[in-house]
Amino acid sequence: MPRKPSSSAPDPSKLAPSPGTGPSLVQRALRKLGLLRDIDFALYLPMRYEDETRIVRLADLRDGDMGQIEAAVTESEVSFRPRRQLVVTVDDGSDTCQLRFFNFYPSQQKQLAVGARVRVRGEVRGGFLGRQMMHPTVKAAGTVLPDALTPVYSTIAGLAQPVLRREVRAGLARAVLDETVPAQIGLRGAWPLRDALNFLHYPTPDVSIAALEDHSHPAWQRLKAEELLAQQLSQLQARRERAAQRALAGGMTLAGTLQMVREFRTTDQDTPLILMGYMNLLVTMGFKAFAQAAGDAGVDGIIIVDCPPEEADPMADALDAADISLIRLATPTTDDKRLPTVLRRTSGFVYYVSVAGVTGVKEADAAAVAPHVERIRKASGLPVAVGFGIKTEERAEAIAKVADAVVVGSALVDEVAEAVANNESVTTRVLLKVETLSKAVRFARVGVAV
């Protein structure tokens, strides 16, 4: 009869890996530094640089300077006073220098034998015994000089700089660094992301070290812009999530939204009502069912921000049957070739997104918006409403002078959040904001704030 497995048997998942099957020492060290993905290596920037691109004369170096020389070994001996050390004298033709090594191997003694010609890099120090370098870096003379500064990375025990440099170079080469920021949002003239990172890992010798250290170099400016944008987007995403949580906590649903439309229509049959949302709600409810319910409630138009024109026909058919306008979005990146596709089956008006990015990140610029509005108006034959980045009455007034309508969203969401945080009336605060913006728009159109 087979024996029942013991309940105290070890868990195979907790057993130590067999020798040679686990991660190597280098892999474990890289993990401790947080270097797991290719992008991690690409963004692991040097803490400083060493200039190994040129050879200098000993006579031109001052005490305290870091320099690289090529010289012949004239003396080499192991001294035991005051402690065991390898003492080597080199001569580059302009001056002599003594090299001292307190920890050394037989291979180093062989490399630094009398008559050998070596390339030495280290800090020159003056003293009673003449000029010295303590534990300099030694290589064979005559090898090809690098064409970029040598990066020095923050590291840990067991991970030497040459190994870390090799891993970073490989990760940087593999990393996907495609541009994700459209030029229209304000990075015109900035370095491409890959060029900036390549330069910061391997800057050219003629670069200003001060510009690298104080992060004023254009390559650093490119990364700082990326970081600032990412910070703004994360803050915006958090704000939007909080707004969604407030709505869900208040019991808001699509059915509840349509009920609000019905209630509004009992007292107002003239004001157009447009719903804006995402495709998942319509797919869940069904295009025909949604269009019928929205039409019955009194909805005049709908904006679905995540439905590409190529996939919109089934939804557009259902909306047309219910006499609901499908309002599409055009952006600064919508060129003349793409525009006809975007405008196909668009009705009511065209919603022009004034900023390439996410709502609430930047402010709309009326001068930049005007030619796009005119181009879209001419191509569509429809009014053009401009939104994204309109928060103040001054901005609303400026946009209203070049567009047919002004769309405000994030600014009202912010008012809701502020009212909730301050225990104020949400309705009063939002209506006050709407009134202020409306007066600015009317003033832009008719010259009188009414």
- HSE-up of 255 (CA within 13 Å, CB side)? 3
Residue 200, pLDDT > 60, answer yes
Residue 186 pLDDT:
54
Tens-digit pLDDT profile for residues 391-415 = 899 999 999 999 999 999 888 888 9
pLDDT, one tens digit per residue, over 348-375 is: 999 998 875 444 445 678 888 999 999 9
Burial of residue 430, with CB atoms counted within 10 A of its CB: 0-12 exposed, 13-18 middle, 19 or more buried:
middle
Q: pLDDT per residue over 226-269, tens digit each?
A: 887 777 777 777 877 887 788 888 888 999 999 999 999 999 99
Please report the domains of the chain, with CATH numbers, ordered by start residue.
54-140 (2.40.50.140), 253-446 (3.20.20.70)
pTM here is: 0.58
Q: What percent of the chain has pLDDT over 90?
A: 65
**Nearest-angstrom CA–CA distance, 177 and 179:** 6
Quick one: residue 188, left, alpha or beta (phi over 0 = left, psi -120 to 50 = alpha)?
beta
Distance CA 288, CA 282 (A): 9
